[in-house]
Amino acid sequence: MSSVIATKPAVTTADDMLKPKSRDASVHLVGDTQPCELTDGFHLVIDALKLNDIDTIFGLPGIPITDLTRMAQADGMRVISFRHEQHAGNAAAAAGFLTGKPGICLTVSAPGFLNGLTALANATTNCFPMILISGSSEREIVDLQQGDYEEMDQLAIAKPLCKAAYRVLHAQDIGVGVARAIRAALSGRPGGVYLDLPAKLFAQTMDAAAGKASLIKVVDPAPRQLPAPDSVQRALNLLKGAKRPLILLGKGAAYAQADADIRALVEKTGIPYLPMSMAKGLLPDNHSQSASAARSYVLAEADVVMLVGARLNWLLSHGKGKTWGEPNTKQFIQIDIAPTEIDSNVAIAAPLIGDIGSCVAALLAGIDSNWVKPPAEWTGAIADRKDKNLSKMAATLALNPSPMNFHSALGAIREVVKARPDAIVVNEGANTLDFARSIVDMYEPRKRLDVGTWGIMGIGMGFAVAAAVTTGKPVIAIEGDSAFGFSGMEVETICRYDLPICVVVFNNNGVYRGTDINTSGSADVAPTVFVKGARYDKMMEAFGGIGVNATTPAELTKALNAALATAKPTLINAVIDETAGTESGRITMLNPQTAAKKKLASST
């Protein structure tokens, strides 16, 4: 418990006048004689976080939280300062996913808060635990809308976009506020929590012993939730009766950190499995039971599908339609901690509600040596398709076109990752994402971070920083050139903290590709086209990192291996054929098509 209070700066600036005023003495007299040690809001926030084993803050300083960042650092916390709050927020979200502890993002009021809010909403959508802590302006002025510095009713704005939102007005409630935020972020379905801390709170003082006593160490923040025995039996019965069973692993399964039991379940049952993108590596992608290379076949043909921490949302075509084969030929088992997820798109025959660790353990307990593995007809048909598709892919990867295309560049990265399975891959873009997901195999759990449920661009550098900071492992960020632009300024952050991150920018001169034409006749380029031949590697060099321009897979391999060997911040500008990409990658069909547009096109 710390009660040291920062000393005042020698010179008072205009900014200082807006800062929360902390007392400059940590001892004062009670009555006439008894000295009493004081603490304040700043220190109580730090102590509450530390008490709950939170050791890192991702943020961006400014009124009223600058001193909080300084004091947290002085008190031994890692404070990672970003260039834009959205990336600090994304880092917090990724840290939450990787560690199972809520990642903390700290911002200033109104604009800083709003910048962080996108990341908070995205974390909630992805079921990642994070807490956005924002300083806020004076309540009295905000509520009367009298025009305070960075005035905004942040709590009201955050509420609909996250799992829970709280405001703390009194120093003695900081412990409760932080405890509630941690519990809300971690328990049940994980998600984003907003914690509003008005400027005045930080300067409030109270007796240090009373302050310490007011803090709460959260006991069992993500309590196990055991599934009901009859639901376990129902699921087992359905699995046993299946002729063509399939296990579908989602990022909830990766988050749950029940890696050994999940692997045991797959291997003991002998059921083919399909990992969603962030579940890749839960079992190594070259596992004999992986059905990834026969994805379309297994989704269409399976008769019983067991979802483990995966939602039947757009990424799985809502569990119906052509992707899923003949109508009414499938039954679903769904393991999820959120009961209301069940039946959200199609009927679920056997819901299994509980935490994945407990559910999978309960299923395993019901699987003995008499378990009959799936018919060879099913597993054999999958193996045939896999072999065919894998040899097709091998042939494509063996080509060495000039300029490089997505396949040849990713073929190079694939081999490097194979040799360094401990490296974490961050991946965003459209084509860059879709091709990397299928080409770059993962071998260990939670080594792949990507655009997630929203398919959001901009997570790249934030996720990469979090991955490096929380694991100390090397990070390879595979980025479309458009995707990279959303968080590109954070290469300075990467250099500043000297993080072992290698960014590979797939530079095809634009969004999706670089060849669009402006048909209006004006001088502007088309909306999807960027500056041609841009040298993103120079951005990294500007901050002291290593920049490489790679035009062949051999150059790319060399630069990537060097980056992994030296652990130095590196950016490889991988020059990709600008004609290679497809509009929106594999989700072209989601672009609205209008008959009027066709008419317009044909009349010009």
Q: Residue numbers of the site for ligand TPW (CB under 6 A)?
A: 429-432, 455-458, 480-483, 506, 508, 511-512, 581, 585
426 binds, among ligand ADP, ligand TPW, none (CB under 5 to 8 A by kind): none
279 binds, among ligand ADP, ligand TPW, none (CB under 5 to 8 A by kind): ligand ADP
Among 70, 83, 170, 189, binds ligand ADP (CB under 6 A): 189
66 CB burial (10 A radius; 0-12, 13-18, 19+):
middle
482 binds, among ligand ADP, ligand TPW, none (CB under 5 to 8 A by kind): ligand TPW
Q: Is 529 in the site for ligand ADP (CB under 6 A)?
A: no
431 binds, among ligand TPW, ligand ADP, none (CB under 5 to 8 A by kind): ligand TPW
Please choose, out of 29-37, 52-60, 247-255, 570-578, the segment that lies near ligand ADP by the rule CB under 6 A. Answer: 247-255
Q: At what angle do helices 460-471 and 85-99 cross, to 10 degrees?
A: 50
Please choose, out of 36-44, 330-338, 391-399, 417-425, the segment that lies near ligand ADP by the rule CB under 6 A. Answer: 330-338
Buried b (16+ CB within 10 A) or exposed e, 510-540: bbbbbbbeeeeeeeebeebbbeeebebbebb
Q: Is 36 in the site for ligand ADP (CB under 6 A)?
A: no
- Separation between Cα atoms, residue 486 and residue 90, nearest integer Å: 12
Among 148, 341, 441, 490, binds ligand ADP (CB under 6 A): 341
Q: Is 251 in the site for ligand ADP (CB under 6 A)?
A: yes
Residue 207's beta-bridge partner residues?
Answer: 38
Q: Which residue is nearest to ligand TPW (CB)?
A: 480
Among 216, 338, 349, 587, binds ligand ADP (CB under 6 A): 338
Q: Is 315 in the site for ligand ADP (CB under 6 A)?
A: yes
Site string for ligand ADP, 107-136 (x = CB under 6 A): -------------------xx---------
Q: How long a stretch of residues is the chain?
A: 604
245 binds, among ligand TPW, ligand ADP, none (CB under 5 to 8 A by kind): none
Other beta carbons within 10 angstroms of residue 285's beta carbon come to: 19
Phi, psi of 321 (to 5 degrees): 90, -170
Q: Is 256 in the site for ligand ADP (CB under 6 A)?
A: yes
Q: For residues 451 and 128, is the Cβ–Cβ distance under 8 A?
A: no
Minimum CB separation of residue 306 from ligand ADP in Å reads 13
Q: For residues 117 and 85, is the Cβ–Cβ distance under 8 A?
A: no
506 binds, among ligand ADP, ligand TPW, none (CB under 5 to 8 A by kind): ligand TPW
480 binds, among ligand TPW, ligand ADP, none (CB under 5 to 8 A by kind): ligand TPW
Which CB, 130 or 456, lies closer to ligand TPW?
456
Q: Tell me how far CA of residue 21 lies from CA of 5, 40, 497, in angstroms.
A: 11, 10, 30
- Separation between Cα atoms, residue 52 and residue 546, nearest integer Å: 38
Which CB, 188 or 403, lies closer to ligand ADP?
188
175 binds, among ligand ADP, ligand TPW, none (CB under 5 to 8 A by kind): none
Q: For residues 233 and 26, is the Cβ–Cβ distance under 8 A?
A: no
Minimum CB separation of residue 129 from ligand ADP in Å reads 9
Minimum CB separation of residue 574 from ligand ADP in Å reads 27
The answer to whether the Cα torsion of 186, 191, 196, 197 is positive or negative is: positive
- Separation between Cα atoms, residue 60 and residue 39, nearest integer Å: 24
Minimum CB separation of residue 558 from ligand TPW in Å reads 22
Minimum CB separation of residue 464 from ligand TPW in Å reads 15
Q: How is 403-431 classified by DSSP, letter by letter? A: SB-HHHHHHHHHHHHHH-TTSEEEEESSH
First CA to last CA across the chain, in angstroms? 73
Tokens of 448: 């792949």
Minimum CB separation of residue 279 from ligand TPW in Å reads 21
Q: Is 155 in the site for ligand ADP (CB under 6 A)?
A: no
CB-based contacts of 5, cutoff 8 Å, min separation 6:
22, 23, 24, 25, 26, 38, 39, 40, 42, 43
Residues between 438 and 457 that touch ligand ADP (CB under 6 A): 453
- Separation between Cα atoms, residue 401 and residue 235, nearest integer Å: 49
Q: Is 336 in the site for ligand ADP (CB under 6 A)?
A: yes
Q: In 395-499, where do the E strands start and end?
A: 424-428, 448-450, 475-480
118 CB burial (10 A radius; 0-12, 13-18, 19+):
middle
Which CB, 64 or 252, lies closer to ligand ADP?
252
Q: For residues 316 and 302, is the Cβ–Cβ distance under 8 A?
A: no
Q: Is 38 helix (H, G, I), strand (E, B) or coil?
A: strand
Give the residues lining the site for ligand ADP (CB under 6 A). 126-127, 189-190, 250-252, 255-256, 276, 278-279, 309-311, 313, 315, 336-338, 341, 355-356, 453
